[in-house]
């Protein structure tokens, strides 16, 4: 089941076990059950503290429980095989059940242990979903730390009938006590914020109590991480306030154009950036969604950023790096059928459309790459491009045209997404040259039409924005407000690329350094007078 490399890695990790771990499987006669037995037997052979039994009675077969032998009330269940992107989740579940301490903020752990009430989570994942492991691992940790929390983690491809019956058409999909809880990526802190009453107020108090920063970075994508590293290295007190550290990296799979790194994946790069930030004295504040900017009244004064939880932070200089998000089509049916056939992440949700008919809207690199990947899974792909030709790199176009189950439509305008019984069943396509409309029957629509800057919160701040809503910056990343800089996809800098965002973030950090050493703080001026 495990290849030699995975076996050696797992053996190395299991050396960290401190107490016995039990694996209890519920198996059928199918091939997946045979594979599950093989996997668990292999794991049990790697360490004396791990035992496997096959007398489980759970209705989901194959499935298996991982539990601490000394405390059987703390357990997590995997239904299906947690391989692919979830192999790391399996390893962590074994380690945590075996007493190895999780690398999680102590306050969050105490919050998990102190939760009152019964929380029974069920979560559906796919093996190709790069957003799922964060949710899987968060729920695993919660279940192993609090006996009143259970977590059943289900590989959707193995339980397709169940997925269809519960209308799961996008992963990660999480249910709480039998009811839909959340669709999409969530980290531990986000889950706790949703279920722990009063946690938001406590977080706001903690945030507002912080002393003013010399540099406050708003946004935690590649631009935000780069700029924080640069200012921290200069010796300035630096904070990062981010709604989600890593930003769009979490929605990006293969990255092949980062110089010096032939191949990596977005979530992996996000983790590496977080570790790099952690090497410096940088105050990282997650789940901090900025809602208002109050600029300093005079040059050298303190700028204020207000957040959705009621907190506020002050800083002598600000670097705005809030990035961008997927652009919506804005047609009837899109919002209604989101996560019910309308999707934005082909790698996460593609396996749920195995053998089905889907459309990809967008003929740039993202759209064509999505169509290529999906064509390997689904029954048929219709790629729709608004322009009269595709805009993707020629090498990608050539690959796409070689695939037999792909139709390419140019000069096509999607005017409506239709559905029935709560699911997508087609779209209306208009030929922009002839004006003719036709309906395309399908089960899924993946939208890949570019980005929208996250600047709505800045519109009444006095900050100059372009007609596209981007922050207007000069060649040094400066905005029209003294001490306020912009970096990355949120600005009017052309070419929205990871490497460009990193460069612009570094430049903005250096510009903030220059501003700070040349500008006397207002309070110092007042004292001198």
Is residue 215 domain-resident? yes
Q: Is residue 240 part of a domain?
A: yes
CA distance 476 to 402: 44
- Same domain for 373 and 518, yes or no, is no
- Residue 46's domain is classified under what CATH number? 3.40.30.80
Q: Are residues 192 and 92 in the same domain?
A: yes
Give the CB-side neighbour count of residue 503, counting CA atoms within 13 A. 11
- On whether residue 402 sits in a domain, the answer given is yes
Q: Are 231 and 371 within one domain?
A: no
**Domains held by the chain: number:** 3
Residues 255 and 310 in one domain: yes
Domain finish residue from 158, 181, 197: 197
Q: Any idea what the CATH number is for the domain that residue 257 is in? A: 3.50.50.60
Paired strand residues for 125: 155
- Residues 183, 43 share a domain: yes
Q: What is the per-residue pLDDT for 89? A: 96
Q: Which two tokens stand for residue 25?
A: 């499987």
Residue 515's pLDDT is: 97
Query: Which residue has tokens 């209308």?
Result: 167
Q: Are 229 and 348 in a shared domain?
A: no
Domain shared by 143 and 89, yes or no? yes
Which pLDDT score is estimated for 406?
Answer: 98
Q: Are 402 and 427 within one domain?
A: yes
Residue 335 in any domain: the answer is no
Do residues 69 and 178 share a domain? yes
So what's the pLDDT on residue 524? 53
Q: Is residue 330 part of a domain?
A: no
What is the per-residue pLDDT for 527? 46
Q: Measured between alpha carbons, how far is 338 from 351 in angstroms, rounded to an integer?
A: 17
Domain that holds residue 424: 342-449
Q: 133-136 long-range CB contacts below 8 Å, 24 or more apart?
A: 133/85, 133/86, 133/88, 133/89, 133/267, 134/185, 134/186, 134/187, 134/250, 134/267, 135/172, 135/174, 135/185, 135/186, 136/82, 136/86, 136/89, 136/172
In angstroms, the CA 284 to CA 274 distance is: 9
Among 449, 483, 500, residue at a domain's last position: 449
- 419 and 505 housed in the same domain: no
Contact 86, 132 (CB under 8 A): yes
How does 347-377 read in b/e, with b if 16+ C-beta sit within 10 Å? Answer: bbbbbbbeeebbbbbbbbbbbbbbbbbbbeb
Burial code of 149-184, b = ≥16 C-beta within 10 A, e = fewer?
A: bbbbbbbbbbbeeebeebebbbbbbbbbeeeebbbb
Q: Burial, 123: exposed, middle or buried (Cβ in 10 Å; 0-12, 13-18, 19+)?
A: buried
Q: What is each CA distance from 24 to 30, 63, 70, 116, in whole angstroms? A: 18, 8, 14, 27
Q: How many CB atoms lie within 10 A of CB 198?
A: 7
Other Cβ atoms within 10 Å of 276 Cβ, number: 14
Question: What is the residue-level pLDDT of the chain in tens, covering all 529 positions?
Answer: 788 999 999 999 999 999 999 999 999 999 999 999 999 999 999 999 999 999 999 999 999 999 999 999 999 999 999 998 899 999 999 999 999 999 998 989 999 999 989 999 999 999 888 889 999 999 999 999 999 999 999 999 999 999 989 989 889 999 999 999 999 889 999 999 899 977 788 889 989 999 999 999 999 999 999 999 999 999 999 999 999 999 989 878 778 889 999 999 888 999 999 999 999 999 999 989 999 999 999 999 999 999 999 999 999 999 999 999 989 999 999 999 998 999 988 877 888 899 999 999 999 998 999 999 999 999 999 999 999 999 999 999 999 999 999 999 999 999 999 999 889 999 999 999 999 999 999 999 999 998 899 999 999 999 999 999 999 999 999 999 999 999 999 999 998 899 999 999 999 999 999 999 999 998 654 444 4
Look up residue 459 and give its DSSP letter.
T
Supply the pLDDT for residue 310: 93
């Amino acid at each position: 089941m495990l290849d030699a490399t995975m076996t050696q890695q797992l053996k190395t990790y299991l050396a960290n076990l401190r107490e016995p771990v039990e694996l209890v499987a519920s198996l059928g006669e199918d091939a997946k059950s045979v594979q599950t037995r093989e996997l668990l037997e292999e794991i049990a052979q790697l360490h004396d503290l791990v035992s496997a039994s096959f007398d489980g009675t759970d209705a989901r077969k194959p499935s298996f429980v991982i539990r601490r032998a000394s405390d059987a009330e703390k357990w997590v269940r995997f239904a299906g095989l947690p391989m692919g992107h979830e192999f790391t989740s399996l390893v962590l579940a074994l380690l945590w059940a075996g007493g190895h301490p999780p690398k999680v903020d102590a306050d969050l752990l105490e919050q998990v242990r102190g939760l009152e009430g019964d929380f029974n989570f069920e979560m559906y994942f796919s093996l190709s979903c790069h957003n799922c492991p964060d949710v899987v691992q968060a729920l695993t940790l919660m279940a192993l730390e609090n006996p009143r929390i259970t977590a059943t983690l289900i590989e959707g491809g193995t339980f397709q009938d169940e997925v269809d019956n519960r209308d799961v058409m996008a992963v990660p999909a999480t249910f709480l006590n039998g009811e839909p809880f959340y669709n999409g990526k969530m980290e531990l802190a986000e889950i706790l914020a949703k279920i722990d009453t009063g946690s938001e107020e406590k977080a706001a108090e903690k945030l507002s109590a912080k002393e003013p920063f010399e540099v406050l970075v708003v946004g935690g994508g590649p631009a935000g991480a780069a700029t924080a590293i640069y200012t921290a290295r200069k010796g300035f007190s630096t904070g990062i306030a981010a709604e989600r550290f890593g930003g769009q990296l979490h929605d990006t799979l293969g990255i092949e154009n980062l110089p010096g790194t032939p191949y990596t994946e977005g979530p992996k790069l996000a983790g590496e950036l977080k570790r790099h930030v952690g090497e410096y004295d940088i105050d990282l504040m997650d789940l901090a969604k900025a809602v208002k900017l109050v600029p300093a009244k005079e040059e050298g004064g303190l700028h204020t950023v207000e957040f959705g939880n009621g907190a506020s932070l002050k800083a002598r200089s600000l670097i705005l790096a809030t990035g961008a998000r997927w652009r919506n089509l804005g047609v009837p049916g899109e919002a209604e059928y989101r996560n019910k056939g309308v999707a934005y992440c082909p790698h996460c949700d593609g396996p749920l459309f195995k053998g089905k008919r889907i459309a990809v809207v967008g003929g740039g690199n993202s759209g064509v790459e999505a169509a290529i990947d999906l064509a390997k899974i689904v029954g048929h792909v219709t790629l729709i491009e608004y322009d009269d030709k595709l805009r993707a790199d020629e090498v990608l176009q050539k690959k796409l045209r070689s695939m037999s189950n792909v139709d390419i439509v140019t000069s096509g305008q999607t005017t409506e997404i239709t559905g029935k019984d709560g699911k997508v069943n087609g779209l209306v396509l208009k030929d922009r040259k002839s004006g003719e409309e036709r309906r395309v029957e399908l089960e899924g629509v993946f939208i890949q039409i570019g980005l929208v800057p996250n600047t709505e919160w800045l519109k009444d701040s006095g900050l100059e924005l372009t007609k596209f809503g981007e922050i207007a910056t000069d060649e040094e990343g400066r905005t029209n407000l003294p001490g306020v800089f912009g970096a990355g996809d949120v600005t009017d800098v052309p070419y929205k690329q990871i490497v460009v965002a990193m460069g612009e973030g570094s430049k903005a950090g250096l510009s903030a350094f220059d501003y700070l050493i040349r500008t006397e703080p207002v309070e110092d001026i007042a004292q001198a007078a």
